[in-house]
Amino acid sequence: MKKLIMNNGAIVPVTGQCYRGLPSELRFIDSPRCGIYWRPPGESQPLKVDVSIAKYYERFGFLYLRHGRRALPVWEHIGALAWTGLSGVIVESTWHPPHFGRVKEFWEALRPNLVASTEDVSWCRPERTVVWRYPKRDGFTQLDPHLDVREKSLKVRLVSDYKGIGRLEREFSFPADIDVLLRAFDAYSPAYPPKWKWRIATAASWLGWPHRHRMTWPHKQPDAATIELFLLHRLADLVGAFSLASHRHLPSGVLTSYCSGFEADIEVLRLARFNAIF
**CA 23/CA 17 separation, integer angstroms:** 5
Residues of the chain with pLDDT under 70: 194
Tell me the pLDDT of the chain averaged across its residues: 95
> Domains (ranges, CATH) in the chain?
2-120 (3.30.230.20), 123-277 (3.30.1700.10)
pLDDT at 8: 94
- Report pLDDT for 38: 98
Please tell me the predicted confidence (pLDDT) of residue 199: 81
Tell me the per-residue pLDDT of 160-208, one tens digit each, with 9 for 90 and over: 999 999 999 999 999 999 999 999 999 999 998 867 777 887 888 887 7
Q: Give the integer Cα–Cα distance in Å for 119 and 98.
A: 31
Which runs of E-coded beta strand occur in 134-248?
140-144, 154-162, 166-174, 189-190, 215-216
Report d(CA 235, CA 174) in Å as an integer.
Answer: 11
Phi, psi of 70 (to 5 degrees): -100, 145
**Quick one: pLDDT at residue 205?**
82
Q: Are 120 and 87 in contact (CB under 8 A)?
A: no
What's the rounded Cα separation, in Å, for the pair 229 and 249? Answer: 28
Residue 71 pLDDT = 95
Dihedral-angle region of residue 215 (phi above 0 means left; psi in -120 to 50 means alpha; beta otherwise): beta
Give, in order, the Cα–Cα distances in Å from 95 to each of 51, 60, 135: 20, 17, 34
Considering Cα of 88, then 156, then 245, then 267, what sign does the dihedral take?
positive
